Amino acid sequence: MKKYISAALTGLLAITMFSCTKKADVVGIEAKLPPVQLSSIGLITPAPFSTTSVIQLTFGATLTKLTPGAFDLEIYDNTTSTQTLVQTIHFNSWSGFDSTTPATTPATTPVGTAGKISYTNPDTTYPNTIVYNGTILIKLNKLTSGKIYTLKGYARTSDGQVSTFTISKLFTVS
């Protein structure tokens, strides 16, 4: 008899453990998410770099209930203890050439005057949140050999909200 009671309790426990499904409180969690979050910037291209190099960066971002606006990169000379802004690369959107590239440039051109940005949107379970996995190509032709550079990214929304991400001493140009 003890054997049957033990088997029945084990079966009941197994049914209750595996028959429940838990759904996330999407609305509650979504309300706590930042409207724009630039979560990462990384370097894909291996060193060494010269002033003729084009480097590839990756970025990760999310937008909740918003649409992308501009995207900016600032490159700082970080060789000394004080950082000096050396170059700003402005993209009017999160896809396309930098703002200094002529509008007539063919879409098949690898890099514009200073850079090119693009992204994909992986699936997410939050209906109003969009994830961005992107790549950025930038030319190093305005930088100086022998310097260490820091990169700061600004992900902007169409209504002007911004999230920043900084990577100190990201690369050296030789």
Position 153 in a domain: yes
Parent domain of 93: 33-173
Q: Tell me the mean pLDDT in the region 165-172.
A: 94
Range in 12-16, 61-65, 154-158, 163-167 the model is least confident about: 12-16
Instruction: Say if residue 1's pLDDT is above 70.
Output: no
Residue 25 lies in a domain: no
Q: What is the pLDDT of residues 76-119, one digit of tens each?
A: 999 988 899 999 999 999 999 999 999 999 989 999 999 999 99
Task: Let me know the angle formed at the C-alpha of 151 by 145 and 157, rounded to the nearest 5 degrees.
Answer: 145
* Residue 13 placed within a domain: no
Residue 45 lies inside a defined structural domain of this protein: yes
In this predicted structure, the answer to whether residue 28 has a pLDDT above a threshold of 80 is: no
User: How many domains in the chain?
Assistant: 1
Q: Is residue 39 part of a domain?
A: yes
pLDDT 10s digits, 126-162: 888 999 999 999 999 999 999 999 999 999 999 999 9
CATH of residue 71: 2.60.40.10
Token couple for 31: 């309300």
Tell me if 117 is assigned to some domain. Answer: yes
Give the N- to C-terminal CA distance of the chain in Å, as an integer.
82
Judge whether 27 lies within some domain: no
pLDDT class for 6, splitting at 50, 70, 90?
A: low
Asked whether residue 6 is assigned to any structural domain, the reply reads: no
Report how far residue 81's alpha carbon sits from residue 41's, in angstroms, rounded to the nearest whole number.
23
